[in-house]
Amino acid sequence: MRHVLLVGIVLAGIFELAAVTQARAQDAAAGEKVFKSQCDICHSTHPGRNIVGPSLYSVVGRHSGMIPNFHYSDANRASGLVWNPATLDRYLAAPRQIVPGTLMTYPGLKDPHQRADLIAYLATLR
């Protein structure tokens, strides 16, 4: 029984270390460059400044379709998504697969490292 408990503790430590290492690998400065090259034509980082897409200020943790006075698709408003890092990662890879019927025409950011960096940058927008 002690052996099983010890193995469980060791495995938990390994998974925690892997998660911390992955989090450190994200680079918000690189993510800002990704944002400027891929996103800022349609999205602002300033509160209340919507362009073609909604402002992404304070997007991490926000519910989808919740900025007042922005015209969201019915699909986006009804998606029930919360923009946490895992959901953003899936959405940014393939927006139309995650929210069929979204008005966002962007085909997706395929590089997982760029997505991680972009999400790290978005998390700084507070």
Indicate the DSSP class of residue 62: P
3-7, 59-63, 92-96: segment of lowest average pLDDT: 3-7
Query: Residue for token digits 């002690």?
Result: 2
Residue ranges per structural domain of the chain: 27-124
First vs last Cα of the chain: how many Å apart?
Answer: 47
| Predicted local confidence at residue 1, as pLDDT | 52
The total of other beta-carbon atoms located within 10 Å of residue 115's CB is 22
Distance CA 42, CA 55 (A): 9
When pLDDT is averaged across residues 66-78 and rounded to a whole number, the result is: 95
Q: Is the pLDDT of residue 97 over 50?
A: yes
Q: What is the pTM of this model?
A: 0.79
User: Per the CATH hierarchy, to which homologous superfamily does domain 27-124 belong?
Assistant: Cytochrome c-like domain (1.10.760.10)
